[in-house]
Structure formats: C-alpha cells, structure tokens
Chain A
Amino acid sequence: MTDDDLVFKALADPTRRFLLDRLFERDGRTLTELESELEMTRFGVMKHLRLLEEAGLVVTQRSGREKLHYLNPVPIRLIHDRWIDKFTERRVSALTDLKRQLEEDSA
C-alpha cells in the first residue's frame, strides 16, 4: 500500500475522523481521554489510533508515563498539493491549447 492509500484508508472510517476532530480541537491527548468520548472498548480505540499513526496522521510522543497523541496534518496537505496541482495544471494547459488554436484559426 502506498502512503496515499494509507491516508485515504485511515480517513474512510467515521471513528477515525472523529478521533482526528478531537485532536484538532485539542492536541496532545492520552488514550484514556480519547477513549472517554467514544462508545468503544479501549482495544478498539487503540486499533483505530494505530491505523492513524501508520498513515502518519497521528504522531505520538512520550511525556513521563503518558503517551500523548498529536494530529499531523502534513499527509493531507501532500495529497492536496499533488492532486490539486495536477488538476489545475491540466486545466491551464487545456486553456493554453484553446488559445493557441484560436490564434491559429484567426491567423
């Protein structure tokens, strides 16, 4: 699986998007904090967090005995840059082609 696939897969689940939303509101949360907002077992939440971490969307950092979870938006940005650039580029080149064609026709 490519990095992009991991990100899309991670984002395709409502529980994982919910976890990202919680981290967006407040970063650096523990598993216990995140778990308290979900009707789900600790094991289930851990599994979702692991998938988010594998996709690079969550970064963890130890602070004493606690493991804190941080939202990392960079992978989403990279997908945005790659795809948006690709599509705008095509649109621009289509317009460039049209312009050339029109100019040739009027010449």
Chain B
Amino acid sequence: MTTTAAPDIGTTTQIYRVFIRATPQKIWDAITRPEWTQRFGYGLKDEFELRPGGAYRGHANEGMIAMGMGGVIVDGEVIESDPPRKLVITWRMAIDPSMAAEGFTRLTYQIDEGRGGVSRLSVIHDLAGRPGHAAMVAGGEQGPGAGAGWTWILSDLKSLLETGEQMTTVGWTPDK
C-alpha cells in the first residue's frame, strides 16, 4: 500500500475471507472446539454453549497462564448456531478494562462448501463504534509476536487444517 492515511477503522464492518481445503465440519470444529482453538492464532481455550443465548468464553491457554495471564480473555454470547455453516456471537476483549468498556462486537463465521473439497470461510466482524477492538482485529499497532488480527489468525487456521501444523512468521524463531 502506498497510502499514508490512517485507516478509518471503527466506523464499519471488517470482512475477512479464506479458502481452506477442508470440509465445513472440520472448519466448524476448529472454530468451536477447545482442542482445536488452542492450536492456531492466539490459541485461546474457547468454550461455546452452542445455542442462542449460550455463553462464549475464551480462556487463557497454558502458555498465557504461565506468563501470569489467566482467566477469561474474551467473552460473549451465542446469537445463532447453525453447524457447520454459520455461527453468530457477540465478542469482546474481557481482559483489558478499556476494551471491555467499549462493549460487545458482533462476529459472524460463515462457512460455505465449494467444489473439490475446498470450503470458504468468511469472518464478518461488525465493529461499529468499537475503535479499540477494530484496531486490534485489523492487526494495527501490534508488533511481531503480538499477532496481527484476523488476517494472521485465518492464515494460521488454513495452515493448521491443510498441513496439520501451524505455519506462521509471527513469533518465528530459528530452530537451532
């Protein structure tokens, strides 16, 4: 990008999309089951009550707890659960008081099955009036190692489901 203008985030929706060689059910499981959610992106131990009004909690993983960051990192509520096609939840950074004070955002996962065993995962994040959350999920103002929002998370998820392991340059360190 050649522009130097600051992105006008926080006033709109952000949409991220990735094509993954996996069934909708595998993608659904990766998003909703803690044994999978800990293996990509920030690696939270996610816990969903998959019914309208059910609770959503993203718990600290063991690495975070070891660094002294425990408890519920992200929280929200399930609005719609239509496995393995569509999940709508509210979503908020609970661990950070200033972020938590912004209130909940609305997050939709849409999974569409295509030809040749390739599915399309769309993340539609409604962040209107939530500039702190919008900057975070857009990957803004975070150095390497802190992650880079949805773009990084979805790239990591694709690698995990297609190769069985994470492949990311964030936090990359030499093997030897």
Contact = CB atoms under 8 A, between A and B. Distances in A.
B12 interface: yes
B107 to A, nearest CB: 15
Interface size class of A (residues with CB under 8 A): 20 to 34
Contacts of A3: 19
Given A26-B8, A27-B12, A17 B175 contact: no
A28 B13 contact: yes
Interface residues of B, number: 34
B154 A74 contact: yes
Nearest to B139: A73
Chain A binding site: helix, strand, loop or mixed by DSSP? helix
Contacts of A28: 12-13
A24 B3 contact: yes
B154 A70 contact: no
A21 B168 CA distance: 25
Interface in B19-47: 19
B81 to A, nearest CB: 21
Contacts of B5: 25
Contacts of B115: none
B13 A74 contact: no
Interface in B102-144: 122, 124
A56 B16 contact: no
